Amino acid sequence: MANCHGRRNTRSLAALAIRGTGTRYRDCNLAGAMSGSQGSTREKTSRTRAGRGCDTSKAFRWLCGIAALSGCQPPAGELDAPATRLSEAAGESTMTTWTCTGSPCPWGDLLSNHALPWSASASPVAARLGYTASPAVYLPAASANGATVSIDAGSAGVYAGEPSGSSHRQLAVVPAGASYQVSGLADGEVLSVQSDAVFDYHVTPPPPSYTPDAGVPDAPTPDAPAPDAGTPDAAQPLTSHAVTWTCTGAPCPWGDSLTGDAAVWPSDAAPITTRLGYTVSAGIYLPAASANGATLSIDTGEASAYAGPPGAASHRLLATLTAGQTLQVAGLADGEVLSVQADDAFTLHATLPPPGDPGDPPGEVIASKQARWRCNIAACQGDDWTGAVIPWPSWAAYQSNARAGDQSRSVFSTDGAPLYPYMGPWAQGCKVTAESGTVLIIEWQRGTNTWRETWLTPRQSYVIHLTPPENGAMIETYDGSPGFSVSLENCTPRPLQP
């Protein structure tokens, strides 16, 4: 496992791509940590302000963020089969076993996990880095693009990549009652749907009208707002700017300051300027709601596109483009952001999806408060955790997380006044809309090591839905954030029950 830092020790890897010696900006997958990429909502264990400590769950750690490996290719012709038909299907996930039958088998001789078993008519692939999966759980791109995966019970992550790739990128985490339409898989890539625990699913094949261009994704994913009818906005010429990341908070893992060339997004797309304690001199992080469905074309120079949550340690590489090449962006999860960076100056044209209907104006906008999580029992010897929260009246929320040992914390403002961010069961049904900054919503059972987290960037909303035994929530953000603001609906505080 990667070394874990701060109170959010196993936040999935994503990030400001930082300069490598003698190379262009690159994805800083700081650990190759075996912990999986983060999606919009997923269950975590053993950390956050709800808790802390490294995530020891086996989920996804053998799929995502593994150090680069080589020497394992799928059997000849396995991915060259003609496009086959994906059948409509529904059922329960299958406990799948990966058995080492070749090399390099980087995760031992045998491992298992819940996964979606694809219909035989779709010719799923079973080979992965020297393992043979039983049943075959890797769906070729030709069958996957355009398909819709719906989760009826439980939750599952959707992953894509090449069978011989050292890790697969996470496209989405789909909770119960939600769907995800697959798009943007390149030739030779495969799709899998996996989870730590059993889940129920149904799969809808691509509609007859679905005709993707070769290697180019079609419509934006469901995470993006649906475009209005009519002609999309014209491509906007953009010139990269030399931007500076200045440490204004914590943890600032790359020193006090660093610079690089990046695309600066138009202000009406609500770009973000904060990252792991740094404030960027221009808006280079484009929220998923504005990025999904965008088309980026490089006119001069070379640049790389990255995506991931602002509060994570590294971003995944989407593509490296040279002059004349185009990327259509798809698959960013709620809470993720897009950046385009390079060592040297470049120019591009960007066509962003038209904004969705703004709907009703937001209610009262509430600003977060800077907070410190401090040890509150003799058995706790750890340092303060830092961040920002939405506080509540003392009679409606808790000051402490009711955790044990070094995980036990009470929350205070920077001037030492008590804060009460831990909402009670009345959080059920509360609609949270991000108005500025990056927002993190925690849903959990008070005092335990298990929770779910949902990331929001401006224009995105989420309705808190507590699933028993969950009995509380918290509205916060990532370590080192300068703060955020939200508007709330159906979120009236109620007295805590004794």
108-133: pLDDT as tens digits: 899 888 999 998 888 999 999 999 99
pLDDT at position 3 is 30
Question: Do residues 127 and 163 lie in contact, with contact meaning Cβ atoms separated by under 8 Å?
Answer: yes
pLDDT per residue over 409-425, tens digit each?
999 999 999 999 999 99
pLDDT at 459 over 90: no
pLDDT at 27 over 60: no
pLDDT at position 350 is 86
What's the whole-number mean pLDDT along residues 300-321? Answer: 85
Burial of 23 (0-12, 13-18, 19+ CB in 10 A): exposed
What's the whole-number mean pLDDT along residues 417-445? Answer: 92
pLDDT at 357 over 80: no
pLDDT at position 452 is 92
pLDDT at 26 over 70: no
pLDDT at position 77 is 34
Out of 132-136, 333-337, 342-346, least confident range: 333-337
pLDDT at 390 over 80: yes
pLDDT at 185 over 50: yes
What's the whole-number mean pLDDT along residues 291-312? Answer: 86
Nearest residue to 307 (alpha-carbon basis) of 5, 17, 105, 3: 17
pLDDT at position 118 is 93
Quickly state the pLDDT bin for 235 (edges 50, 70, 90): low
Neighbours of 252 (CB within 10 A): 18
**Summary mean pLDDT of the chain:** 75
> How does DSSP assign 313-376, residue by residue?
S--EEEEEEETT-EEE---PPTT-EEEEEESS--EEEEEPPPP----SPP--EEE-EEEEEE--
Residue type, 62: W
pLDDT at 22 over 70: no
pLDDT at position 127 is 93
Question: Do residues 425 and 31 lie in contact, with contact meaning Cβ atoms separated by under 8 Å?
Answer: no
pLDDT at 359 over 60: no
pLDDT at 17 over 70: no
Neighbours of 421 (CB within 10 A): 25
Percent helix / strand / coil, the chain, rounded to 5? 5, 35, 60
pLDDT at 294 over 70: yes
pLDDT at position 61 is 32
CA-CA-CA-CA dihedral for 84, 90, 94, 99, to nearest 10: 0
What's the whole-number mean pLDDT along residues 192-206? Answer: 90
pLDDT at position 362 is 53
pLDDT at position 425 is 93
Count CA atoms within 13 Å of residue 45 on its CB side: 7
Edge-to-edge, what's the strand order for the sheet holding 347-351? 236-239, 347-351, 295-300, 326-328
pLDDT at position 381 is 87
pLDDT at position 139 is 94
Distance of CA 290 to the CA centre of its chain: 15
pLDDT at 35 over 60: no
Residue 205: asked if its preceding bond is cis (omega within 30°), the reply is no
pLDDT at position 184 is 80
pLDDT per residue over 240-271, tens digit each?
899 999 998 878 888 899 999 999 998 888 88
Query: Residue 459 is encoded by which pair of tokens?
Result: 């224009």
Q: Scan for tokens 């504005």, then name that residue.
A: 290
pLDDT at 163 over 50: yes
pLDDT at 465 over 80: yes
What is the Cα–Cα distance from 79 to 95, expressed in whole angstroms? 24
What's the whole-number mean pLDDT along residues 447-475? Answer: 89
What is the Cα–Cα distance from 13 to 64, expressed in whole angstroms? 9
pLDDT per residue over 54-89, tens digit each?
333 333 333 333 322 223 333 333 333 334 578 888
Question: Considering the chain, what percentage of its residues have pLDDT values greater than 90?
Answer: 31
pLDDT per residue over 205-224, tens digit each?
887 655 544 333 333 333 33
pLDDT at 41 over 90: no
What's the whole-number mean pLDDT along residues 285-294? Answer: 86
Out of 4-18, 116-130, 325-339, 465-479, least confident range: 4-18
pLDDT at 20 over 50: no
